[in-house]
Structure 1
């Protein structure tokens, strides 16, 4: 029987640390005082902070017409992944997050948020979660000639299915609505926030970095990557240095050791 993903409604926030903040101190604040504010938000199924590597990024397979290197001015430090019970619940959470975003200015220079549509995310069944030792986030920007439906179909049905069939231990794909792009913490000095806008994202769990590269060179995946320029103009990959679960399965996770 072929495995099928479940559909979820999510909010993804890209975070950039302030330049005057020590990186480890900023992440400790995010996982500690800032995370505690999130525990008061209603109707959330999951709230996960993903700390992105500032050195291991830009390694998605390059093909003509698809930008894979990440400009330092546009590089992000974190990704907040929030799963809500519904689209209205996600929008309500954004309104309720106001105090958290104001507090976030203590460490963040910018926060850009985007919602999926209703059921616009796909979570594939996890395989042997205890073996996961490496996580990758890939952010995609679509070509101007490609509409949202075509982008979603390519990410969910073509690329996502190929990665899962090739042996990904876990996989999440997201089609993001451009109409819900929210500059939650406006940058004080960087370029236009539209430059940081993405239209889709995937999260890949593997046993190691080498395992990831094996997936990307698998025949089924290579065939899809070879035609990615028909859909994407950019594909920015980041290694996740650490994932911090704040809410999981609607329950608050103990934050006692999260900031360490």
Structure 2
């Protein structure tokens, strides 16, 4: 599981990224909500000044949890808290979010058309890490998105250090990933994204403290990862640190803004 001492360190970017966890309305067909998010709502967010990247992560309708069972850790995703999608927003600078306040008001107003609950998880500068794990010409054909809940008694600083210095290198060391992104979050505050007419209920015991995006060559490679030997070592590392591991099946990842430019059509 560990990388060779002689191996060159991975190139890593440390952008300023926030994630908005999304639940679509249940009083209309789920696909109608997902399509509105993919279409009209994406245009509102893409036009926000100061974005370095904006991508939508669409999660499968049926998600019970990809991570194998671990004693004392919740790996089964509760049906009543199952996320439908995640908006991943990366800014060009620390001050960039201030530039988008007017556009954010439009996003607030449109949320009621598609979502029933939205939760913003933000991190301090340098808390998001994008690791260069793909070789030349390698692309991502399947993804999993993992949310981690810190175990009571584990400090926030120690947990961030664990994610950045132990978990990420161990994941990279598997040699099968074509994408590896991590985020560690500040304590959740409703006032950071208190949109009108949309729920923001988030009991303390439901809070998340980090996320990990894993990319694979294809679905078969992803399935092999979650049923192979590497997962046992990762589980043993995670068990003392977390009380929940919610590993989602990703059906699509759509990029609308890349390298600070709005794309003419989203990139899959």
TM-score (norm 2): 0.86
Say yes or no: does 1:243 pair with 2:250. no
Aligned length: 257
Say yes or no: does 1:122 pair with 2:129. yes
Alignment partner, residue 176 of structure 1: 185
TM-score (norm 1): 0.89
Q: What is the rounded CA distance, in whole Å, between the counterparts of 1:205 and 1:218 in structure 2?
A: 16
**1:25-40 maps to which residues of 2 (within 5 A)?**
25-40=32-47
Unaligned runs of 5+ in 2: 1-7
Alignment partner, residue 88 of structure 2: 81
Report how far residue 130 of structure 1 moved: 4.5
Q: What is the rounded CA distance, in whole Å, between the counterparts of 1:193 and 1:95 in structure 2?
A: 30
Q: What is the rounded CA distance, in whole Å, between the counterparts of 1:155 and 1:91 in structure 2?
A: 29
The answer to whether the Cα contact below 8 Å between 1:9 and 1:119 also exists between their aligned partners in 2 is yes
> Aligned with 2:144: secondary structure?
strand
> Aligned with 1:119: secondary structure?
coil
The answer to whether the Cα contact below 8 Å between 1:120 and 1:174 also exists between their aligned partners in 2 is yes
Q: What is the rounded CA distance, in whole Å, between the counterparts of 1:174 and 1:39 in structure 2?
A: 21
Alpha-carbon distance change, 62 to 187 in structure 1, aligned in 2, over 3 angstroms: farther
Alignment partner, residue 63 of structure 1: 70
Residue 24 of structure 1: which of 25, 31, 41 is its match? 31
Alpha-carbon distance change, 90 to 156 in structure 1, aligned in 2, over 3 angstroms: farther
**1:1-260 maps to which residues of 2 (within 5 A)?**
1-90=8-97, 93=100, 96-128=103-135, 130-167=138-175, 168-180=177-189, 182-185=192-195, 192=202, 194=204, 196-216=206-226, 221-255=231-265
Unaligned runs of 5+ in 1: none
